[in-house]
Amino acid sequence: MRVKATAPGFYGSLREVGDEFDIKGKEDLGNWMAEIAKPEAKAKPGPKPAAKPEESGSLPDA
């Protein structure tokens, strides 16, 4: 679980405000730590659609 120190504390070593680190689980979560939300997994990009010709209403110059 990824957390951020909101105050100085000790977890394995001295942690300063703003330090980000991993803990074993919620049972190790101290009152001086804030859980960092996991970024949601982005959908894998699929094939891009074929480019459409520009629809300007006029014929191309010959």
Q: Consecutive 10-residue runs of the chain (62 residues): their mean pLDDT?
A: 97 97 96 89 70 62 60
pLDDT of residue 53: 64
Q: Cα(32)–Cα(21) distance, rounded to whole angstroms?
A: 13
Task: Specify the pTM.
Answer: 0.60
pLDDT given for residue 54 in this prediction: 64
Residue 62 included in any domain = no
pLDDT digits (tens, 9 = 90+) for 21-30: 999 999 999 9
Domain count, the chain: 1
42 within domain boundaries? no
Residue 47: the pLDDT is 74
Looking at residue 41, its pLDDT comes to: 66
Question: Does some domain include residue 17?
Answer: yes
Tell me which residue range forms the domain holding 7. Answer: 2-35
Instruction: Tell me whether residue 28 is in a domain.
Output: yes
